[in-house]
Every structure is written in C-alpha cells, then in structure tokens.
C-alpha cells in the first residue's frame, strides 16, 4: 500500500475509533448505581468485585480505542459485558437458576453453589441465559443508540439490526457470532487464515458489537428499573 493509502486508512480507522468512544460513553452513561444489587446478601462481596471489574474494563476499552487498538478494545468490551451479565445473574439469582441454560450447566456435574457455577460460565452461555431472561430489548435499537450507530457505520448497516427487519438473529446470538470471530483473531493458528491487513476491520466490527450489546443491555435494565420503582 502506498504512503498516501496508509495515511487514508489510518484516518479512517481513527475516525471509527472516535465514533466508538462516543457510542461507548452513551452506552455506559445508562448504568445506574444500585440497579444490579445481588438477590442474595451473601453474594454482595462478589457483586462488588464484579462491579469494580466492569469499571476497569470500560476504562481500558476507552484507552484502547484512543490508541485505535480495536482488538484490545474488543477484548476489554467483551470482558465488561461478561462481568455485567454475571452481575445480572446475581441480581436475578432464583429466576436464572430456573433457566434451561443454567440447568444444563448444573446437570453436567453434581449440583454446585451458584457462585461456583457462575464463575465457570462462558460469555456464550451467559448470553444464552440473557436471551431466556429477556435482558435485551426485543424491539431492537432505541432512538439514542440508533442515532449514534448511524453516525458510525451508516443507516443501511444499522437497519439490518432492527428487530423488524432481522427477526432471525437476536442481539445475544449476534454477540456470540461476533465474539467467536474475534477469538479466531486471538488464536494464532486460526488467525493465520485471516489476512493481517483485515485484522483491524474484523476487530472493529466485534468492538462495535460489544459496545452495542453493552448499551442495549444497560438501557433495557434502566427501563425495567424505572418500571419496578413505579410499581413500588
């Protein structure tokens, strides 16, 4: 690639990174302290540790985006999402324990304490639980997140994520597919099949998926929290 071509590509990636940082700020702004309190008081210490981890991962994701390091940003974003889903499991402990996915995790061995099973759950399994629990909005993107995402990737691309236009793939399922693609980038043997010059772009898509999932989850929880406060 020529020097001018490299400069244009660097500018393109930098612009997308700035857009993702804006989307990340919009998404995490929706997090409200106390909205993910554990159901069992005995889980409070674990919940506090996970909450601190979420803050750390999001800060590191922002730093990575500032450096236009999409792969590193995606790893941090996926870790933040995983930690938040674990917090949600602790908050809705009894209902989570009754889901098909959780029962299948328990069925593989003799019944174990909830936190022990949770600690070994993978992101794909947590996303399956999230889908059963309807933690992600069924109607698709909200106006705020849609506007931010349109600025980043364009209205045509965002339209395919709307529930009415793409009813086959749910947000959790989309995240599983995106995170799997990123894991392939991190695995040397699998990454060898991906042209190095495409790594940034694959990671950028995965990064956008992580931020989008974070925003949709937190926004959905904020809305449900308001409903619970009104009922009380």
Mean pLDDT, 10 residues at a time, the chain of 232 residues: 69 83 75 72 94 92 92 87 93 95 80 91 90 79 63 58 49 67 69 73 80 80 59 48
Q: How far apart are CA 179 and CA 132, in angstroms?
A: 19
Q: How far apart are CA 159 and CA 103, in angstroms?
A: 35
Nearest to 68 by CA among 21, 12, 23, 14: 14
Q: How far apart are CA 96 and CA 89, in angstroms?
A: 6
Q: How far apart are CA 162 and CA 35, in angstroms?
A: 26
What's the pLDDT at 140? 58
The reply to whether the predicted model has a pTM over 0.85 is no
Over residues 82-129, the pLDDT tens digits come to 999 999 999 999 999 999 999 999 866 577 899 999 999 998 899 899
Q: Where are the domains of the chain?
A: 15-231
Torsion of CA 70, 72, 78, 82, to 10 degrees: -160
**Per this entry, what is the length of the chain?**
232
What's the pLDDT at 167? 45
CB 17 within 8 A of CB 70: yes
Q: For the chain, what is the radius of gyration of the CA atoms?
A: 18
Q: How far apart are CA 120 and CA 105, in angstroms?
A: 9
Q: How far apart are CA 88 and CA 39, in angstroms?
A: 10
Q: How far apart are CA 54 and CA 77, in angstroms?
A: 9
DSSP track, 162-206:
STTT--SS-HHHHHHHHHHHHHHHHSHHHHTTS-GGGHHHHHHHH
């Amino acid at each position: 690639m020529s020097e001018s071509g490299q400069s244009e590509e660097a500018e393109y990636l930098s612009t997308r990174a700035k857009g993702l940082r804006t989307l990340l700020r919009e998404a995490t702004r929706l997090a409200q302290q106390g909205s993910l309190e554990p159901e069992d008081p005995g889980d409070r210490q674990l919940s506090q540790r996970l909450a601190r981890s979420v803050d750390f991962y999001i800060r590191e994701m922002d730093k990575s985006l500032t450096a236009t390091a999409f792969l590193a940003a995606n790893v941090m974003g996926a870790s933040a999402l995983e930690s938040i889903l674990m917090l949600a499991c602790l908050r809705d402990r009894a209902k989570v324990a009754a889901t098909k996915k959780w029962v299948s995790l328990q069925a593989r061995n003799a019944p174990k304490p909830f936190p022990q099973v949770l600690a070994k759950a993978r992101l794909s399994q947590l996303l399956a639980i999230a889908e059963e629990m309807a933690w992600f909005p069924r109607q698709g993107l909200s106006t705020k997140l849609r506007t931010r995402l349109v600025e980043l990737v364009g209205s045509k691309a965002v339209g395919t994520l709307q529930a009415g236009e793409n009813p086959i793939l749910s947000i959790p399922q989309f995240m599983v597919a995106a995170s799997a693609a990123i894991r392939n980038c991190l695995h040397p043997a699998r990454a060898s099949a991906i042209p190095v010059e495409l790594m940034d772009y694959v990671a950028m898509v995965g990064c956008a998926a992580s931020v989008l999932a974070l925003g949709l989850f937190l926004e959905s929880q904020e809305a449900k929290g308001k409903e619970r406060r009104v009922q009380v």
